[in-house]
Amino acid sequence: MTDRYTKAVNSGFTQTLAKKLGLPRPAVLRRYRAGDSLTVGPVLVVSDGASKADADAIAQTLLGWDLDVRREPTDDVRWGAVVLVLTEATAPTDASEAVLATGSVLRRLAGNGRVVTVSRAPADGDSPALSATRHGVDGFLRSVAKELRGGATGNGVVLTDDVAVDDPSVLGTLRFFLGAKSAYVDGQLLRVGPTADGVPAADAPEPATDRPLTGQVAVVTGAARGIGAAIARTLHRDGATVVCVDVPAAGEALAATANAVGGTALQLDVTAEDAGERILAHARERHGRLDVVVHNAGITRDKLLANMKPGQWDAVIAVNLAAQLRINAALLEAGLEGLRIVSLASTSGIAGNKGQTNYAFSKAGVIGHTRATAGLLAARGGTANAVAPGFIETEMTSRIPFATREVARRIPSLAQGGQPVDVAEAIAFLASPAAAGVNGQVLRVCGQHLVGQ
Amino acid sequence: MTDRYTKAVNSGFTQTLAKKLGLPRPAVLRRYRAGDSLTVGPVLVVSDGASKADADAIAQTLLGWDLDVRREPTDDVRWGAVVLVLTEATAPTDASEAVLATGSVLRRLAGNGRVVTVSRAPADGDSPALSATRHGVDGFLRSVAKELRGGATGNGVVLTDDVAVDDPSVLGTLRFFLGAKSAYVDGQLLRVGPTADGVPAADAPEPATDRPLTGQVAVVTGAARGIGAAIARTLHRDGATVVCVDVPAAGEALAATANAVGGTALQLDVTAEDAGERILAHARERHGRLDVVVHNAGITRDKLLANMKPGQWDAVIAVNLAAQLRINAALLEAGLEGLRIVSLASTSGIAGNKGQTNYAFSKAGVIGHTRATAGLLAARGGTANAVAPGFIETEMTSRIPFATREVARRIPSLAQGGQPVDVAEAIAFLASPAAAGVNGQVLRVCGQHLVGQ
């Protein structure tokens, strides 16, 4: 699926016209299809001197994924990806050689290619030089992502000090960034820590598994349409049995989604006092368990604060934030083992947005409760994470006036809006066993939108 | 000082023309002049119910600053500022009433007015609801800042749990945001913690002091021209004796700056092995002490990474990052009491920038070493902070092609570039005793530029 503008400016006649008019010509993004190769070409693995052993381990894993792995930049291939390993760099000058090696192949990076950095997260007690080096990777990665073209993206895996590069979650995150499931994730760094208590790394499945959610039960709120329906489809594709939740007014669409994914429908207003208990009861009674909860239901009541009415403020806080808190409290109370919660935040909750003080408060709040809940779930082997979409093409955004919509679409590095499935893929990744070490994080799915980082 | 575009579109004839053409008409920002009132009108202080005592304490302080303080929104005044106190809010719904009270007066907020939130920083151990509420303020503040017009700004003071609202640093930060010295700081939240060991709060001076750096010696690198010269002038205005450092090639301009501020000039390449020792020796021998170091010297060698030459990468890392690390190591080694270090970062170091992989690595690195150094200096009552300028009007930026420059200028919420003095004011604030509780922070001076947060 591609938006009409992207289709038009990339088709024969209009392509020439668009070029003459100087309109941005966003690339057609490669999205996941079962059976396609992970990358679009050979993968170059480079590192600074001290990180060579880590780079070797990563190269070994990539070979195991049937990729064509190279260790030297050459001019004779169209590269599918560059993996830049800087895990053991301790001084800013350490990165120089590997960074320049990366630069040397960028002109031969294929469309929909990938640059992925693998580095360490700054930590308390880092020396100034170490902290500078670790932070430096952040500024570098976000810059290089802005330079890539043709649907290529740049993202970073950031390991905490207590995690090895061959940790399943590190490899799972690397795989997500290398492949087509992260098509609209760009310029982002995702932190990977040790797997939560109760989920020993040895039990974690191969990240290459095709249906990682087999046998699991997932609940998706706001599942009747748009992004929610895409999430339900994607979790189903990954093997989960999906409980589709939406308000009674959306009953017909909800039933259609539930049928399409072979799941069940639960008509429920998420702001109901007992919403959490009812979700839990439905999942247990109908499917015998509950493993994943996706808080996708949300509303907007955009208004400048100067014109905001109490009902507009309160409704947004109630649906987007208070309801999630109440449902999570019930889930925590139930003490489920290994529960994965993924909540929908927004770039508006990170950078703010004109006319969205209420929405931005609620979405920043989602980030807040995600961080706090992460610690509580970790004790039972679970995780809480958030996904922050940028401009996503939905029925809702199709009602935005044309000019405003066009501007919003072209601002990200990828020069186009994302598709609901892009958000769904990020959520499916965060719900999967491969992401067991990703906890309390916010993953933006925004094509590297200018706003926020 | 105002850029020519802003002057033109705000002057009689061209004002009409600019309006017809739909060009953005940036407000003329009110900047600090000794003797001017702190705000442009009465200050409304509102809060949620639980934060009323904190709001009372703040209102009391503002009265002591000779401000016209009100506690109820009314229609009969042109407001100079709204202070929104949410320090004790614990649930997302708590904020509603105070937020709407803020909104109710925004249409009567004067040009160059202020909205300042005072809230608590999220902390480990926060309940999900508390964490949501504290994070929510962040999204709210950044959104409301984007809605303000006429040079009005929105910023937030964020207290850690161990600090009271009447802490001198909290009040000092509030005063900075309320006044004209923060003219180009917009949409930012600054964290204030307890004053570092060795500087008991009782000894901290009144934040209202006009020359807070009296008796202190400050070093400014890259001081010959532009932002560096503005920093030297502003620190001098605030009472400091200033050591102006720049490369020998800039000797004439350097001498002029040093003379203008009644300080001394030190010709020095900051990348010299012994730069730190020489700075220290100069300050001690000529002025008997060293209290403030401003790392302003920096270079750009912009190039797409695909075309980057080793010399371009290495020079930027050497000057912008490695030099600061080496100088700081010498300063730490000397064990100075109460040392304040302020380093120039950049919005490029936060969000990345096309063609600036080297610069963004170096500036993200500056943020990294600032965080690590903060902890080391705190032990002796010092602080390390960074200032991240956005688009600032300098000789350097005046060479950017007209159209590119115009776009860069209009993107921030304030729809204009900043002046060197805006960066200097932020640095002078961070160097002042009033900012003793601000440590390891990055303050953006960017007019709420879209990029980054």
Domain with residue B37: its CATH number is: 3.40.50.720
Q: Is the pLDDT of residue A202 over 50?
A: no
Look at residue A396 in the predicted model and tell me its pLDDT: 75
Contacts of B140 in chain A (CB under 8 A): 352, 357, 360-361, 364
Residue type, B17: L
Q: How far is CA B209 from the centre of its chain?
A: 18
CB B283 within 8 A of CB B289: yes
Residue A20 banded pLDDT, cuts 50, 70, 90? low
B141, B255: one domain: no
Q: And the tokens for B255?
A: 């001498």
A242, A170: one domain: no
> Can you give the C-alpha Rg of chain B in angstroms?
22
- Of the residues A153, A172, A192, which one is the last residue of a structural domain? A192
Residue A452 banded pLDDT, cuts 50, 70, 90? low
B183, B239: one domain: no
Q: And the tokens for A428?
A: 């499916």
- The whole-number average pLDDT for the span A127-150 is 97
Sequence-distant (≥ 6) Cβ neighbours of residue B140 within 8 angstroms: A352, A357, A360, A361, A364, B95, B99, B117
Asked if the structure places residue A16 within a domain, the reply is no
* Parts of chain B with a pLDDT under 50: 1, 200-205
* Cβ separation B146–A353 shorter than 8 A: yes
CB A188 within 8 A of CB A155: yes
Look at residue B200 in the predicted model and tell me its pLDDT: 46
Optimal mutation site among A97, A104, A140, interface B, most CBs of chain B within 10 A: A140
For B157, the 3-state DSSP assignment is strand
* Cβ separation B146–A321 shorter than 8 A: no
Sequence-distant (≥ 6) Cβ neighbours of residue B422 within 8 angstroms: B31, B183, B184, B185, B389, B392, B445
B244, B278: one domain: yes
Q: And the tokens for A189?
A: 């760094």
Active-site positions of B read: 359
**pLDDT tens per residue across span B118-150:** 999 999 999 999 999 999 999 999 999 999 999
- The whole-number average pLDDT for the span A254-279 is 98
A269, A158: one domain: no
B248, B217: one domain: yes
* Cβ separation A350–B145 shorter than 8 A: no
A41, A102: one domain: yes
Look at residue A14 in the predicted model and tell me its pLDDT: 52
Optimal mutation site among A97, A105, A107, A143, interface B, most CBs of chain B within 10 A: A143
Asked if the structure places residue B99 within a domain, the reply is yes
Identify which has the larger pLDDT, A204 or A313.
Answer: A313
B302, B417: one domain: yes
Asked if the structure places residue B6 within a domain, the reply is no
Predicted model pTM: 0.94
A422, A275: one domain: yes
B293, B335: one domain: yes
What strand order describes the sheet that includes B292-295?
B264-267, B241-246, B217-221, B292-295, B340-344, B383-389, B442-445
**pLDDT tens per residue across span A293-348:** 999 999 999 999 999 999 999 999 999 999 999 999 999 999 999 999 999 999 99
- Domain tally for chain A? 2
- Of the residues B192, B211, B231, which one is the last residue of a structural domain? B192
Look at residue B210 in the predicted model and tell me its pLDDT: 85
- The whole-number average pLDDT for the span A383-405 is 87
**pLDDT tens per residue across span A399-411:** 878 877 777 787 8
* Cβ separation A314–B93 shorter than 8 A: yes
Look at residue A25 in the predicted model and tell me its pLDDT: 73
* ipTM surpassing 0.85: yes
Burial of A333 (0-12, 13-18, 19+ CB in 10 A): exposed
* Cβ separation A136–B362 shorter than 8 A: yes
Asked if the structure places residue A6 within a domain, the reply is no
Sequence-distant (≥ 6) Cβ neighbours of residue B228 within 8 angstroms: B220, B221, B222, B244, B246, B257, B296, B297
Active-site positions of A read: 359
With b meaning 16 or more CB within 10 Å and e meaning fewer, what string describes B154-163?
A: bbbbbbeeeb
- Of the residues B192, B219, B250, which one is the last residue of a structural domain? B192
Cα–Cα distance, A168 to B201 (Å, whole number): 49
Look at residue B311 in the predicted model and tell me its pLDDT: 98
Asked if the structure places residue B4 within a domain, the reply is no
Q: Is the pLDDT of residue A244 over 70?
A: yes
Q: How far is CA B434 from the centre of its chain?
A: 13
Q: DSSP string of B254-276? A: HHHHHHHTT-EEEE--TTSTTHH
Rounded to a whole number, what is the distance in Å from the CA of B309 to chain A's nearest CA?
Answer: 8
Asked if the structure places residue B236 within a domain, the reply is yes
Asked if the structure places residue B23 within a domain, the reply is no
Q: DSSP string of A105-161? A: HGGGEEEEEEEEEEEE---TT--HHHHHHHHHHHHHHHHHHHH--TT-EEEEEEE-T
> Can you give the C-alpha Rg of chain A in angstroms?
22
Parent domain of B298 = 203-445
Look at residue B412 in the predicted model and tell me its pLDDT: 86
A104, A227: one domain: no
Asked if the structure places residue B18 within a domain, the reply is no
A420, A286: one domain: yes
As beta bridge partners, residue B158 has: B119, B191
